[in-house]
Amino acid sequence: MRKATRTLDRLYDAALAPHGITTTQFALMRNIERAGAIVLNQLATLLVMDRTSLYRTIRAIEEAGWVSITDGPGKARLAQITDAGRAMLRAAEPDWEDLQARIHGRLGEDGWARLMEMSGAIIALGQTAGREARA
């Protein structure tokens, strides 16, 4: 499992490298863009990330000008995608999608469907474990 995860990380990082972004940064930005604006703690839960890793990753893409972090309700911090971040995502998406298509083609329709199903179950397990740890 870990070898497969590392292999996928390397493949996606290589596909995104020409755009100066990592797989984790790309995933964060896509989720921020989808949300419009999202509280950082909610983003960490959504992506099954610990807050320290999230803040380190957010800092890098904020410094690049791809996201802005502002004060939200209470002590919450809100992340929003910037125009520069949106442009970077549009530039990187074809490379991401090309790799997705290569993996899909290699696995075949049934293999891809099983991978998506298993990935969803593993993600749900992580989200459940995170909620239980906070309870």
Judge residue 127's burial from the number of C-beta atoms within 10 Å of its C-beta, 0-12 exposed, 13-18 middle, 19 or more buried.
Answer: middle
Backbone angles phi and psi of 128, in degrees to 5: -65, -45
Give the whole-number percent of the chain exceeding pLDDT 90: 64
For residue 6, give its domain range.
Answer: 2-134
CA distances for 10 relative to 14, 15, 116, angstroms: 6, 9, 19
Q: What is the mean pLDDT of residues 75-99?
A: 96
Model-level pTM greater than 0.85?
no
In 3-state terms, what secondary structure has residue 114? helix
In the chain, the number of structural domains is 1
The domain that holds 61 is classified in CATH as 1.10.10.10
